[in-house]
Amino acid sequence: MTDGEIVKVAGPLVVAKGLSDPRMYELVRVGNAQLFGEIIELRRDLASIQVYEETSGVGPGEPVVQTGSELTVELGPGLITSIYDGIQRPLDAIRAQYGDFVPRGVSLPALPRDRVWRFVPAARAGDTVVPGDFLGSVQETRAVVHHIMVPTGTTGTVVSIEERDCTVDEPVAVIRRESGEEASLSMLQRWPVRTARPYARRMAPNEPLVTGQRVIDALFPVARGGTACVPGPFGSGKTVIQHQLAKWADADIIVYVGCGERGNEMTDVLQEFPQLTDPKTGEVLMNRTVLIANTSNMPVAAREASVFTGITIAEYFRDMGYSVALMADSTSRWAEAMREISGRLEEMPGEEGFPAYLASRIASFYERAGRVSTIASSPREGSLSVIGAVSPPGGDLSEPVVQATLRAVKVFWALDSRLADARHFPAIDWLQSYSLYSDSLEHFYDAQLGTAWAEDIREVRALLQKEAELQELVRLVGVDALSVADRLVLESAKSVREDFLQQSAFTEGDSYTSLTKQLRMLNAVLLWSHEANTAASNGIQLAAILSMPVRVDIARAKFVEETNLAAFDVLEDSIREAFASLSAAQTTVPEEYHE
């Protein structure tokens, strides 16, 4: 049925007239090729449509068909291990049926309709259920149990339910609603991507999302259910950090959204994730991952859809009680797509040509993160943490996308090209970055690691800040003009940077560090610093302190196995013994030492 016709085509923007009672964000099929599109503006009898596919060959007079629904995603068993495009078309299924290239207008169900799952009931006949309650479960992968929930808007009494083998669209239970009518429920749900899924209440972000990355966990932690952004110039390591967080973050489910990234980077993700070993389960990482792939050569309109598709899927798993981490790489490409569409709509441009609603649109994405209590009759705790990469031109952190993102997130990991050029990775600048969760997480760290953790972190921050101040002086007068005490500050800070903060993503044994091991590493680095200052004040020559062989052992401590943390006891004893031997051999007080 034809509801309207095209009157104008401008790239991904199509203007149509004659639509029957159109609504904002209604999904339509455009042209003879039946391309996917979404209404984004209504002016009198004209509707502006952003098309999620290439519009070449589409012209005025071609039909526009309304669907009567918003852009929605399918939710149910089959999501895990899947690879979708920005509007949740299954790329694996499309490749199997059509080849390596996605034909325009192709439409396949997001969840396989022919795959049979073993449904195990959790409810019984006669039980009263409300939205969010578990009807049953499916063992989706060896790593993930997929809980089948009562959909929103459904309340009633279970009439029948049984264990059975079925597909996602076959009924698994019959519910008698409060009105008396009966409804059959399947494992398949649908949800509009622009509408946040409901929850009972938001909980305080007082537990960390442990990432295993030392500079993050120690200096700039992110809370479970928190938000963070990773801005940085080309080549500074944004994508590698996203990969590390996806692999090591303390989350049950990973949703990775490649939003407008280069095809080769997304190819790395698609090739590596099915091969990476999940440290939690020993299975492949893909067994608890959903991938959304929208590369830079795909239509720009689909970039905006891709981030909302990803976060809706993430909210669905959050409602099951899982800890979910979503990685969006990169939101700058999403903002560029908004700028292009806004320009074609002839809207009044804001700063640097971005639309005036840039900040509110970015905030609407990040605000869907959180640690929440679900709406079920027996509430569960679930969390959704969102980490977005930002790619400012030339690494300019004052540009609009970065600034709009900073107003919406609470953790800022600023990547520095100078650190990257010096091969210091992760290249997170410890002087520009910050975390607003540090204070709320301090109680957790005190309970888990003792007060030594907070004390060590404060000392490390002070060392790094003092080093930055001394570096300015060194540029003017040279390092030889510094006192011994200041020289030791520089050496201690160097040890913190190279022996603790610097971490290899590709070296086994260093790619991940538990909180307990991080504390032991800090203790060793700071023990050397304390002993060095004591030795210098007691007359030990600076050259002798700096040439101690035990410093090599401190540098190698990052490769100590997590199962052999007792080695740090031996290391600390070695540090004390080395300084004791040094004190016994040399006692002359150097004139240049100053308090």
Is the preceding omega at residue 529 within 30 degrees of 0, hence cis? no
Q: Look at residue 2 and tell me whether its pLDDT is greater than 80.
A: no
pLDDT at 340 over 70: yes
Cα 560 to Cα 554: distance, rounded to the nearest angstrom: 10
Torsion-angle region of 138 (φ positive above 0: left; ψ -120 to 50: alpha; else: beta): beta
135-193 pLDDT tens trace: 999 999 988 999 999 999 899 999 999 999 999 999 999 999 988 899 999 999 999 99
Cα distance between residue 583 and residue 565, in whole Å: 28
Q: Where are the alpha helices (DSSP H) in 374-513?
A: 400-406, 417-421, 438-449, 452-477, 484-495
Residue 140: which of 169, 119, 114, 123 has the closest Cα?
A: 119
Task: Provide the pLDDT for residue 587.
Answer: 53
Question: How do residues 184-236 score in pLDDT, each as one tens digit?
Answer: 999 999 999 999 999 999 999 999 999 999 999 999 999 999 999 999 888 88
Q: What pLDDT is recorded for position 394?
A: 82
- Percent of the chain clearing pLDDT 70 (strictly above): 97
When computed from its CA atoms, the radius of gyration of the chain, rounded to whole angstroms, is 28
Q: What is the pLDDT of residues 545-593, one digit of tens each?
A: 999 999 999 999 999 999 999 999 999 999 999 999 988 876 545 555 5
What lies within 8 Å, CB to CB, of 489 at 6+ separation is 463, 466, 467, 470
Using alpha carbons, list the distances in angstroms from residue 431 to 28, 389, 468: 49, 19, 8
Angle, to 10 degrees, between the axis of helix 301-319 and the axis of helix 358-366?
30
407 backbone dihedrals φ, ψ, rounded to 5°: -75, -15
Joined tokens for residue 592: 């240049």
In angstroms, the first-to-last Cα distance of the chain is 86
Look-up of token digits 């010096």:
422
Higher local confidence (pLDDT), 508 or 450: 450
pLDDT at residue 187 in the model: 96
- Side-by-side strand order, sheet with 171-177: 128-129, 156-161, 171-177, 182-186
pLDDT of residue 242: 87
Structure tokens at 94: 């499309």
Q: Evaluate whether the domain defined by 201-436 bears CATH number 3.40.50.300.
A: yes
- Quick one: DSSP state of residue 559? G
Residue of 198, 237, 228 whose CA lies nearest to 426: 237
Measured distance CA(251)–CA(288) in Å, rounded: 10
- Residue-level pLDDT at 295: 78
Residue 589's CB: how many other CB atoms inside 10 A? 11
Structure tokens at 441: 């997480």
Q: Which residues contact 530 (CB under 8 A, 6 or more apart)?
A: none
pLDDT category, 594, cuts 50, 70, 90?
very low
Place of tokens 């080849």: 99
| From the candidate CATH numbers 2.40.50.100, 3.40.50.300, 1.10.10.60, 2.60.40.10, the one assigned to the domain spanning 112-187 | 2.40.50.100
- Reading phi first (left if > 0) and then psi (alpha if -120 to 50, else beta), residue 44 is in left
In the DSSP assignment, the letter for residue 321 is T
pLDDT tens digit sequence for 353-408: 999 999 999 999 999 999 999 999 999 999 999 999 999 988 888 999 999 999 99
Is residue 527 within 8 Å of 575, Cβ to Cβ? yes
Given this model, what pLDDT does residue 1 score? 52
- Cα–Cα distance list, 283 to 166, 278, 320 (Å): 26, 5, 21
Residue 259 pLDDT: 86
What pLDDT score does 303 carry? 84
Q: Using CB atoms within 10 A of its CB, is residue 202 exposed (0-12), middle (13-18) or buried (19+)?
A: exposed
Sign of CA dihedral 406, 408, 412, 414: negative
Q: Between 1.10.3720.10, 1.10.579.10, 1.10.1140.10, 2.70.98.70, what CATH number should domain 450-585 receive?
A: 1.10.1140.10
Q: Is the pLDDT higher at 489 or at 258? A: 489
pLDDT greater than 80 at residue 263: no
Contact 498, 428 (CB under 8 A): no
275 SS3 class: coil
Residues in the chain: 595
10 Å CB burial of residue 46 (0-12, 13-18, 19+) is middle
Rounded CA separation 342/361 (Å): 13
pLDDT at 110 over 90: yes
> Is the pLDDT reported for residue 106 higher than 70?
yes
Q: Tell me the residue type at 347.
A: E
Q: How confident is the model at residue 42 (pLDDT cuts 50, 70, 90)?
A: very high
The percent of residues above 90 in pLDDT, for the chain, comes to 75
Q: How many CB atoms lie within 10 A of CB 477?
A: 9
Q: How far apart, in whole angstroms, are the C-alpha atoms of residue 574 and residue 531?
A: 12
pLDDT band at 25 (very low <50, low <70, confident <90, very high): very high
Residue 119 to residue 139: CA distance in whole angstroms: 8
469-491, pLDDT tens digit by residue? Answer: 999 999 988 888 899 999 999 99
Q: How far apart are CA 521 and CA 508, in angstroms?
A: 17
CATH architecture of 4-70: Beta Barrel (2.40)
Structure tokens that stand for 434 in this block: 């910050």
Q: What is the mean pLDDT of residues 310-324?
A: 97
- The domain locations on the chain are 4-70, 112-187, 201-436, 450-585
> CA angle at residue 17 from 12 to 21, to 5 degrees?
105
Least confident of 163-177, 262-276, 304-318: 262-276
Cα distances from 87 to residues 245, 308, 466, 576, in angstroms, run 24, 9, 50, 61
CA proximity to 369, closest of 303, 323, 438, 437: 323
Q: Does the pLDDT of residue 595 top 50, yes or no?
A: no
pLDDT, tens only, 79-99: 999 999 889 999 999 999 998
Which residues, 6+ apart, have CB-to-CB distance to 440 below 8 Å?
A: 204, 205, 206, 223
The DSSP H or E segment spanning 165 is strand 164-166
pLDDT at 480: 87
Confidence label for 276 from pLDDT (cuts 50, 70 and 90)? confident
pTM for the structure as a whole: 0.92
- 3-state secondary structure at position 474: helix
Average pLDDT, the chain: 91
Chain CA centroid to CA 115, Å: 30
Contact 129, 175 (CB under 8 A): yes
